[in-house]
């Protein structure tokens, strides 16, 4: 069965605990998402969190936009199967109250919380409650003293803001920090996080390209930006922002981790792009295999190839697969032929073999 590990060395940071999930240190890169429901509707929010957990989400964030949401937020924290991060903007008192009501972490941007005495009050509340804080620097809301400077590029401004905030938190003895510095530009994102990993090597980093767009564009931008950083050993947790159902964010995140060989939760489908040698409807077959694999939770690789001659060789690293010919296909395991099956039975035979060998 395919490995769940990778030879890619992760940058070693301080380890932070977000509820039951460890972030940083030697912990694996964790997957996050954010609820799109109204937090005041606890039932709808908990139902969405349940779907996210089923998809493999490990940390979930919910907005707390007003005091009317606090009672529901408390209920959500108490009943959620995942650690819940309170997303707070502007009102520091909401952050304080969210910490008291069970948040596993607070996400705040000191650049829009207000004066540092308000930030300090949030730090104190988080310390008393034992919850983490994600310092969320954003290209659109920087430390005012830094944002007004004309001698710095945007990445330099984001890094300078991040350093000033982290140093302030640490000066107060608060180290339960995760840091993000997000922009919608992929090059800015990469440059910023590379610099943060050099300047603040001990701080766990939360990766993502913010406002990345709809499913297709957002997937591409996050895969490039976050993928490059992860491949360089940078980053400890991630939320891949998409204008889509948040379950899609989780699915894309796991596909990205799998593609890099960092972690695998679901099967990986290896399929060829087809060519003139293909004698079956391979696209439809691959779509059917992909649909049925979505219900399988096992870190295996499954190949669907269009050529009997080259299929097993080209997909030799796959755990199991089918190589198609005219009217039949060759079932193979670990690149070695197993038996021939008729075209109309190929997908069913493939999944019967997956269930038999891997118990899924």
Average pLDDT over residues 293-318: 80
For residue 317, the model assigns a pLDDT of 80
Q: Is residue 3 in a domain?
A: no
Q: Is residue 208 in a domain?
A: yes
Sheet holding 301-305, edge to edge: 268-271, 301-305, 320-324, 328-333, 336-342
> pLDDT tens for residues 121-133?
999 999 999 999 9
> pLDDT tens for residues 45-75?
999 999 999 999 999 999 999 999 999 999 9
CATH number at residue 160: 3.20.20.20
Question: Of 80, 86, 53, which is closest to residue 67 (Cα–Cα)?
Answer: 86
Residues 344 and 291 in one domain: yes
Domain boundary among 208, 226, 259: 259
Confidence of residue 8 (pLDDT cuts 50, 70, 90): low
Place of tokens 């995140």: 253
- Total domain count for the chain? 2
Alpha helices in the chain (DSSP H): 42-55, 70-79, 92-100, 110-113, 116-129, 144-147, 154-171, 186-199, 215-231, 246-259, 282-293, 311-314, 346-358
CATH number at residue 310: 3.30.413.10
Confidence of residue 206 (pLDDT cuts 50, 70, 90): very high
Residues 275 and 255 in one domain: no
Residues 6+ apart with CB under 8 A from 78: 102
For residue 120, the model assigns a pLDDT of 95
Average pLDDT over residues 349-360: 85
Residues 176 and 291 in one domain: no
**What's 289's DSSP letter?**
H
Place of tokens 């796991």: 254
Domain boundary among 207, 235, 259: 259
User: Any idea which of 29-33, 111-115, 224-228 has the lowest mean pLDDT?
Assistant: 111-115
Q: Is residue 4 in a domain?
A: no
Residues 105 and 62 in one domain: yes
Average pLDDT over residues 212-234: 94
Handedness of CA 2, 3, 8, 13 (dihedral sign): positive
> pLDDT tens for residues 264-278?
888 889 888 887 776
Residues 207 and 278 in one domain: no
Domain that holds residue 46: 16-259
Confidence of residue 308 (pLDDT cuts 50, 70, 90): low
The percentage of the chain sitting over the pLDDT mark of 90, rounded to a whole number, equals: 63
Confidence of residue 360 (pLDDT cuts 50, 70, 90): low
Cα–Cα distance, 201 to 347 (Å, whole number): 48
């Amino acid at each position: 069965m395919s490995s769940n590990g990778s030879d890619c060395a992760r940058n070693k940071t301080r380890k932070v605990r977000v509820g039951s999930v460890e972030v940083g240190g030697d912990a694996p890169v964790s997957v996050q998402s954010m609820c799109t429901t109204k937090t005041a509707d606890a039932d709808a929010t908990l139902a969405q969190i349940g779907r996210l957990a089923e998809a493999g989400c490990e940390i979930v964030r919910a907005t707390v936009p007003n005091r009317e949401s606090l009672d529901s937020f408390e209920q959500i924290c108490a009943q959620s199967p995942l650690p819940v991060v309170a997303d707070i903007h502007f009102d520091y008192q909401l952050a304080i109250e969210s910490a008291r009501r069970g948040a596993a972490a607070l996400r705040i941007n000191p650049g829009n919380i207000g004066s540092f005495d308000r930030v300090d009050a949030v730090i104190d509340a988080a310390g008393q409650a034992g919850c983490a804080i994600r310092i969320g620097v954003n290209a659109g809301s920087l430390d005012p003293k830094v944002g007004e400077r004309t001698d710095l590029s945007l990445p330099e401004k984001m890094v300078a803001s991040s350093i000033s905030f982290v140093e302030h938190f640490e000066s107060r003895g608060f180290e339960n920090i995760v840091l993000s510095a997000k922009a919608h530009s992929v090059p800015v994102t990469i440059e910023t996080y590379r610099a943060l990993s050099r300047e603040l090597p001990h701080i766990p980093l939360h990766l993502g390209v913010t406002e990345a767009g709809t499913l297709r564009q957002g997937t591409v931008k996050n895969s490039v930006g976050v993928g490059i950083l992860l491949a360089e050993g940078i980053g400890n947790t991630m939320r891949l922002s998409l204008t889509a159902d948040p379950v899609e964010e989780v699915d894309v995140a796991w596909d990205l981790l799998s593609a890099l060989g960092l972690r695998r939760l679901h099967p990986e489908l290896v399929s060829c792009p087809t060519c003139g040698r293909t004698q079956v409807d391979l696209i439809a077959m691959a779509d059917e295999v992909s649909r049925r694999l979505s219900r399988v939770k096992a870190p295996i690789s499954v190949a669907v190839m269009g050529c009997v001659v080259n299929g097993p060789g080209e997909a030799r690293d796959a755990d199991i697969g089918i190589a198609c010919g005219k009217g039949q296909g060759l079932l193979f395991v670990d690149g070695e032929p197993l038996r021939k099956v008729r075209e109309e039975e190929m997908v069913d035979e493939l999944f019967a073999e997956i269930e038999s060998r891997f118990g899924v």
